[in-house]
Amino acid sequence: MGLVRWPFWAVVCVFLSVPFCLVASEQEQLEDIVQQPVHCERIDNSQWSRPGSANDWEPFHGRIGDRVLRCDCHDSVRTRRSEEYTVDQQQPNLRNAVFVLSSFPATTVATDILIVNCGQLHVPAGTFRSIRAAFLPRTIRFVNIAQLTLDSFAFETDSSTRTQQVVTNPRDPHPILGPITLSFDRCQLDELPANVFHGAAIRSVLFSTSSVGAIRSLAISTRFQQFLLSDTVVGSFSRHAFKRAQMEQLHLHNVTMTGAWASQAWQGLIVGNSIQIRDSRFLQTIHPAAITESSTYWKNALLVVYVLSYSKV
């Protein structure tokens, strides 16, 4: 599973003359410009709820509500294709289409937003910004996305959200956190950019069976209850990737890290309850100070590290 997929022409360019390659890459980009919104529709919850799996992570997924908004790229392609046959045969090849998640309007009322089955999908900054604070979804799930691009501030929500939370649930042990569980299942991302979760009313972030090329500086600079990675391939942690991040639990289970773990990647990280790194593989050198340098910040945290294999290549 390649983290960075070089287009075929890039490889060919090594062997061919430069002018040819410039033309080839230009054409590739022209085709990539085709963008189309993902069509979302309300679905009956029973169509989607899966039989309960014996999955450790299930409790962290959050409750599945009864107002599910499903945004399915396959369905969007099918709809457009049938239009195309009747309207215009000259449309560009849909396989090159980049789907864009359109901003959810202020009228959006959904307990769960499910985004599924996309080739390339782009989530621009502020996609969720208009959703009213009292109507934020409990879950936003991305499932089966071959190339997912998240912008900085992609999940930003209305800034009045947090004060409203205190009012709606006074018994909440984490009143500063928002209600949203954000999960990524079978998704591939080239990177998590800086501030990708910033200003978002997020409680938990979960990656499972996914790959993330690079976790950039300040990518995780937010407060969460949980940040969990399972069965996931991570390219690298950049310096200060977790700076100003604060969470109860930081768990890495069956994570394979293919690239470097920079010396100050976890500096400035505060974990209140537990850090677990289990059954994980590190294929490159871990900087000797990668963990120890940050340890004074992990107040009272239980640190469990079971590294399955550590091979220096």
Q: Which is nearer to ligand NAG, 226 or 280 (CB)?
A: 280
Q: How far is the CB of 252 from ligand NAG (least distance, A)?
A: 11
Residue of 144, 254, 263, 295 interacting with ligand NAG (CB under 6 A): 254
Q: How far is the CB of 309 from ligand NAG (least distance, A)?
A: 12
Q: Which is nearer to ligand NAG, 64 or 146 (CB)?
A: 146
Residue type, 88: D
Q: How far is the CB of 184 from ligand NAG (least distance, A)?
A: 13
Q: What is the DSSP string of 231-276?
A: EEEEEEEPTTTTTT-EEEEEEEEEEEE-S-B-TTTTTT-EEEEEEE
Site for ligand NAG in 32-51 (CB under 6 A): none
Residue of 101, 113, 206, 233 interacting with ligand NAG (CB under 6 A): 233
**Interface mask (CB under 6 A) for ligand NAG, residues 193-232, using x and -?**
--------------------------------------xx
Per-residue DSSP letter, 300: T
Does residue 71 contact residue 220 with C-beta atoms inside 8 Å? no
Number of residues that bind ligand NAG (CB under 6 A): 5
Q: How far is the CB of 54 from ligand NAG (least distance, A)?
A: 13
Q: How far is the CB of 261 from ligand NAG (least distance, A)?
A: 17
Q: Which is nearer to ligand NAG, 136 or 145 (CB)?
A: 145
Q: Which is nearer to ligand NAG, 152 or 211 (CB)?
A: 211
Say which residue the tokens 């954000």 belong to.
182
Q: Which is nearer to ligand NAG, 256 or 264 (CB)?
A: 256
User: In 3D, which of 186, 69, 57 has the Cα closest to residue 117?
Assistant: 186
Q: Which is nearer to ligand NAG, 36 or 254 (CB)?
A: 254
Q: Which is nearer to ligand NAG, 249 or 256 (CB)?
A: 256
CA distance 218 to 244: 8
Strands 270-282 and 302-310: parallel
Contacts of residue 241, Cβ cutoff 8 Å, sequence gap at least 6? 215, 216, 217, 218, 219, 220, 262, 265, 266
Does residue 109 contact residue 152 with C-beta atoms inside 8 Å? no
Site for ligand NAG in 255-274 (CB under 6 A): 256
Q: How far is the CB of 207 from ligand NAG (least distance, A)?
A: 11
- Encode burial over 140-165: b for 16+ CB neighbours within 10 A, e otherwise: bbbbbbebbbbbbbbbbbbeebbebb
Q: How far is the CB of 1 from ligand NAG (least distance, A)?
A: 8
Quote the tokens at residue 10. 């890039």
Query: In the complex, which residues of this chain contact ligand NAG (CB under 6 A)?
Result: 231-233, 254, 256
